[in-house]
Amino acid sequence: MSVRLSALVIIGASLLAGCASSQSRMQPMGDLPRQSRAPNCSVEVFRTAPPSRPFIKVARLDVHREATYFLQPSFDDLLPDLKKQACLAGADAIIEIVETKGGYLETSSNHLTATAIVFQ
């Protein structure tokens, strides 16, 4: 294969694959600072209803991802980043998850907001 053809194949593959970028943020709630947990800690996810046991809200979480072309960010793509932010907040679980999807031309986006909690 010639060098020129190889370059065209690489460029074409790059365009088809697209690219993605993401941002995440954790905003503590309340006056008491919480001790962060390891970034890969275990965090429960309550997507449809809050837990039945008592809890305290400790942080507001945001995760946003944009992708181009054939990549379309899903809830499952963003969930690891959301859990990581909850760990940084020292949380036991995530509640009140709201997913917002959007896009314009070849760019699609997905945004998750949630509340991090600790059990009492």
Question: pLDDT tens-digit profile of 52-77?
Answer: 999 999 999 999 888 776 677 788 88
Is 110 part of any domain?
Answer: yes
Q: Which residues of the chain have pLDDT under 70?
A: 1-22, 32-33, 69-70
Is 13 part of any domain?
Answer: no
Is 50 part of any domain?
Answer: yes
CA distance linking residue 39 with residue 43, whole number of Å: 10
Is 76 part of any domain?
Answer: yes
Q: What is the dihedral of CA 66, 90, 29, 86, to 10 degrees?
A: 20
Number of domains in the chain: 1
Look up the pTM and report it.
Answer: 0.75
CA distance linking residue 111 with residue 65, whole number of Å: 6
Is 97 part of any domain?
Answer: yes
Q: What pLDDT is recorded for position 52?
A: 95
Is 49 part of any domain?
Answer: yes
Is 12 part of any domain?
Answer: no
Domain range spanning residue 41?
19-119
